[in-house]
Every structure is written in C-alpha cells, then in structure tokens.
A = this chain, B = another copy of it.
Amino acid sequence: MHIQPLLNYISNFVTLTDEEVDILSSKISCRNYLKGQYVVQQGDICKYEGFVISGCTKTFYVDDAGQEHIIMFSIEDWWVSDMGSFITQTPADFNVQCIENTQLIMFYYDDIEDLYREIPKLERFFRSIVEKGFVAMQKRLVRNFSQTAKERYVYFKNQYPKIEQRIPQYMVASYLGITKEFLSKIKGQLALEE
C-alpha cells in the first residue's frame, strides 16, 4: 500500500512512532476508483473518509431542480468525505465522484474510534485538518457573498492552478456558481486585459 504520502502529510501535524505507523497501517486500506465512479452517493451513509493518493474528485450537491452544485475538488494530499454524514452516520447530502482514476486511503468509521484510542495524537491531527477545512469553507462563503464572479474565478485560478488544468470548464463554472457561458465571457475579458 502506498502509505508514504499520507505519512508525509501527517508528519506536518504530529510525529508518529514506528509502532504507531504499524497500528495505523493495519486500520486503513487503499482503494482504487475509475473515472466516473462514486466514492459517496447522496442518500447513502458515508462510512469512510478518504485521503487522495492520486487522482481528482468533485464533491457536489444536486438540488431539487436537478441542478448540480460543486462544493469542492480534491487532488493529491486532500480529503474526500461527506463529513456531516460520516460523523452522524446519517444519509449523505453530497456526492463525491472521480473526475480521474483515483486512489484513496480509506479511514473507516468502524475503525476510527480504535485508531483514536490506540494513537491519541490522531485526535490532534484530525482536529488540525478540520480546523483548516473550517477556515477554508468560511472564507469560501465570504467570497461568495462579497466577490464578483470574475474575482472568484481569478482567486480560484491563482489559488488552485493545478486543479484548473485538470478539470473541464463547465465544472469550474459550477464551482463558481455561474454558467459556463458566463465563465467563457470572464476568461475572454481577462485575456483582453493581459
């Protein structure tokens, strides 16, 4: 199992002993998904949190009118889950679908309490990453309130250059909450400004 990227990532927050790495390895598993496959489907109970080893996913919500709203993209070193569903074990609001073939390391709900008990510093690790996620989500909410679509696009392009190259434009538009025609117009304007 290609666990090294996860260990490198964890080492930014806490230091695990060799024994703790062994315990961790025994409680997680690797899973491969094909492009187009779903990691989580709206309505199902989300049984895991996944760490992206390779690939790219989109997390989205489909409203009552059938409209898709992309909440986030995840690439290497990011996380995928419906956290609301995971922590309460109730049906998921979100879908997570693979935009590329994707390899994840899965933390299962049934094992995570054992992991916390056997490696208490993982509480700290997960606290830290959820804090970062909360802050990112709060800032995204503010941008949606206070920035124009053009400003949001420029922010996205600058902040996540690696993601923009990997995903179709209509998904970028959905993430920004605009139509793909409007995104084309914004990109046309920006090209003229350069």
Query: Residues of A at under 8 Å CB distance from B?
Result: 61, 63, 67, 69, 71, 83-84, 87, 93, 116, 120, 123-124, 126-128, 130-135, 137-142, 144-147, 177
Contact = CB atoms under 8 A, between A and B. Distances in A.
Nearest to A124: B123
Contacts of A126: 127
14 contacts: A61-B145, A63-B145, A69-B145, A71-B138, A71-B142, A83-B135, A87-B135, A93-B142, A123-B124, A127-B127, A133-B134, A137-B141, A144-B145, A145-B177
Contacts of A146: 61, 63, 67, 69
Contacts of A69: 142, 145-146
Q: Is the contact region of chain A dominated by helix, strand, or loop, or is it mixed?
A: helix
Closest 7 CB pairs of A and B: A127-B127, A63-B146, A84-B135, A123-B123, A137-B137, A69-B145, A134-B134
B71 A131 contact: no
Nearest to A59: B138
Residue in A67, A116, A127 whose Cβ sees the most chain B Cβ within 10 Å: A127
A121 to B, nearest CB: 8
Nearest to A64: B146
A144 B123 CA distance: 31
Given A83-B134, A131-B83, A93 B144 contact: no
